[in-house]
A and B are shown apart, each in its own frame.
Chain A
Amino acid sequence: MSTQILMPALSPTMEEGKLAKWLVKEGDEVHSGDLLAEIETDKATMEFEAVDEGRIGKLLVAEGTEGVKVNAPIAELITEDGEAAPVAAASVKEPVAAPKEVAGTVAPTPVAKAALIEPQVPDGTEMVTITVREALRDAMAEEMRRDPDVFLMGEEVAQYQGAYKISQGLLEEFGAKRVIDTPITEHGFTGLGVGAGFAGLKPIVEFMTWNFAMQAIDQIINSAAKTRYMSGGQMSCPIVFRGPNGPAARVAAQHSQDYSAWYARVPGLKVVAPYFAADAKGLLKAAIRDPNPVVFLENEIVYGRSFPVPKLDDFVLPIGKARVIREGKDVTLVSYSMGVALLLDAAEELAKAGIDAELIDLRTLRPLDIDTVVASVQKTNRLVTVEQDWPICSIGSEVCAQVVEKAFDYLDAPPAKVSGKDVPMPYAHNLEKLALPSVEEVVAAAKAVLYRS
């Protein structure tokens, strides 16, 4: 009989990968632990081992094939006495590890959804479609070329090329002096980075994820954010703290959390949380040049998404400006980072119901561009905020409060908040899905503020 060898998931958020190389050929006998193939994900190239014993039947996917979905059959394994059974796609089990709702929105993101570009980009500018991951890397590389005081430090940023491959190629270009692997000591290396900033360098401190930055939050807030004020303006700390923030996939409570509101409250910091690749690039370049400490919140699931980025020599966006990414007249939907993906999908659903939603990507959380939100609410008279963070004292809470203060008379319904649920992130697939905000919830909230059902 035969079984199928399936494309493995090699990380919590992997949806597909490249079958880089077969290490076996048809007819080879394999034993448990033998290397079968090299699989290249967007994060790393990894070897894939046999689990069962048998003889390799047909190789179903040629080496060099890109975009092989997780759990797709890639080869057949003939075990003991059997002949290879015909490959039937139906025999592939339903993927367990890869959350389907995420899979549905991951690669490749339709460009049309992201076609709304920055107003200040000159007409006729060529657009290049790249991933958010590449946009972030390009931003750092460009700024490192421009200013010798800029350097990158963090866990696995150099030789490993970044735990999420954001720093790919930087070690080769800039050398070990400027791309520095640190020990796993967030508290220490964050303080060290802040001290280097005090001394006039421009560090980029990468956190493998923002979850681990909680070890270092004292240095971010007490040292980086407050020292300018406490020194009467004498001291400066031009530093960027960056890394993936927010829920990833199936990594449970300690590795799935949105820290936006934690940092957005702190005077002395700027906080940026982009979704699109162009914003990631333009705002990271601005953050590196900013003389203040900037908390730059990325998202692991967004890293692999592709969007158009203007092909300009020096594309820098202003920190502190929200962007209307879809104009509409009926209801204002506001979000940031991964939540923007929900807005885009919800707007399509709402359009089917004849509701014309205006979408705002906050992009920067501190300073918060409330004027753009207020102007929109003055037009639509309805507000829904969307975020993956917990609901209490969140960015959505703040946007709602400020809109009520500043545009109460324009509101035709109480503002609505869609957020993550008020629980630690569960591991179980179904519970995780419930804990996160969904397109359906956004659509329902938009209809609710329009008194439509």
Chain B
Amino acid sequence: MSDPSVAEGDGVNTRPTPSSATLKKFYHDMLLIRRFEERAGQLYGMGLIGGFCHLYIGQEAVVVGMQNALLPGDQVITAYRDHGHILASGMDPKGVMAELTGRAAGYSKGKGGSMHMFSVEKNFFGGHGIVGAQVPLGTGIAFANKYRENGAVTLAYMGEGAANQGQVYESFNMAELWHLPVLYVVENNQYAMGTSVERASAQPKFYKRGESFNVPGEEVDGMDVEAVFEAGRKALEFVRGGGGPMILEMKTYRYRGHSMSDPAKYRTRDEVQSIRDRKDPIDQFGKKLVDRELASDVDLKTIDKEIRLIVNEAAEFAIEAPEPEASELYTDVLA
């Protein structure tokens, strides 16, 4: 969702720095994802969320920075670590949490679960469970933009693990060949499940992965929401202006396991703690806001309080909401 306060001056996405209101919104949106995910982890531990549950904790700056750089009408598609993406799209945390608990009030009526959430209303195209499959799908949404000449850009997220999938390169090829308005965002959180980048990737600089197809790329500090926003804005401008596809590699980090059932033997606690201490996207950005006198500690605490309330309500709602009716078993198979 684009913040109108960003788009002042002589046109969209040209103002060099976001307003203080926008910066506070960044903080708010990141913290909402953080608190939401912490609570989701808790509900999983209580057995209220089942199956696979991939938390986004640590990566919040990526989706918040990018989402705020989009214009109305732009579309987003991602893989299964999608809670942050649907929240950043502006969907109600209640409906999101209720999907995680498999309730009728969930955004997929409880039929999709954590990995399969969608919002046609917000141009959020999911939420896809097969590693890499969302990349050609997103390229196809961008194809439709070009077909309709609607000026929209599609944001196709993938993890760095997915970036080794063949279909990603088939997509890069077609996107450049047909000059499709698609921006590929590689969320490089350093681990594809339990396999570190260096153990799986012959070319670990993912922003270079489009070179063979003439798709330009750029590396971005994915722990810095302002850097993400700026890079996203420029890249979107490039793509929207007819430059063809582009790749942004977001260097980020996930604190939690790949999913809730990840024993995390592949890295040390110290590694995680060290990143948290030095690079946490929310803590660091909060400090910046205070240093620049754009917010006080009290302001930040107030935001935290509001968010805790929202998340508590979402959790209560998701626990109390009824499961789908048995008759729902056979609906929504065909139109």
Contact = CB atoms under 8 A, between A and B. Distances in A.
A188 B120 contact: no
Contacts of A233: 109, 331-332
Interface in A219-263: 219, 222-223, 227-236
A39 to B, nearest CB: 33
B128 interface: yes
B157 interface: no
B260 interface: no
A236 B141 CA distance: 13
B332 A191 contact: no
Interface string A70-109: 0000000000000000000000000000000000000000
Interface string B119-162: 11000011111100101111111111101100000000000000
B171 A192 contact: yes
Contacts of B136: 187-192, 194-195, 219
A266 B137 CA distance: 20
B130 A151 contact: no
Interface in B263-305: none
The size bracket of the interface on B is: 35 or more
Interface stretch (B110-118, B190-198, B250-258): B110-118
A191 B171 contact: yes
A191 B144 contact: no
A219 B140 CA distance: 12
Interface string B85-119: 00000000000000000000011111110001111
Contacts of B174: 182-183, 185, 188-189, 192
Contact of B109 (A190, A223, A232): A232
B133 A223 contact: yes
Contacts of A291: 335
A270 interface: yes
A192 B112 contact: no
Contacts of A223: 128, 130, 133, 137
B158 to A, nearest CB: 12
Contact of B135 (A191, A230, A267): A191
Interface in A200-223: 200-201, 218-219, 222-223
Contacts of A222: 129-130, 133
Contacts of A177: 147
Q: Which of B119, B128, B137 has the most CB of A within 10 A?
A: B137
Main secondary structure of the interface of B (DSSP, over half): mixed
A292 interface: yes
B16 interface: no
Interface string A411-429: 0000000000000000000
B170 interface: yes
Given A231-B108, A235-B118, A188 B129 contact: no
Contacts of B127: 230-231
B2 interface: no
B137 A195 contact: yes
Q: Which of B119, B129, B143 has the most CB of A within 10 A?
A: B143
A223 B132 CA distance: 11
B333 interface: yes
A200 B144 contact: yes
B167 interface: yes
A198 to B, nearest CB: 6
B145 A229 contact: no
A187 B147 contact: no
A193 B136 CA distance: 8
Contact of A192 (B106, B116, B117, B140): B140
A196 B138 CA distance: 8
Given A185-B173, A201-B144, 10 more contacts: A182-B174, A194-B136, A195-B137, A195-B141, A199-B145, A201-B147, A230-B112, A232-B108, A232-B332, A233-B332
Interface of B: 75, 77, 106-112, 116-120, 125-130, 133, 135-145, 147-148, 166-167, 169-171, 173-174, 177, 331-335
Interface of A: 151, 177, 182-183, 185, 187-201, 218-219, 222-223, 227-236, 267-268, 270, 290-292
12 contacts: A185-B173, A189-B170, A191-B135, A195-B136, A195-B139, A195-B141, A199-B145, A222-B130, A230-B111, A231-B107, A232-B118, A234-B120
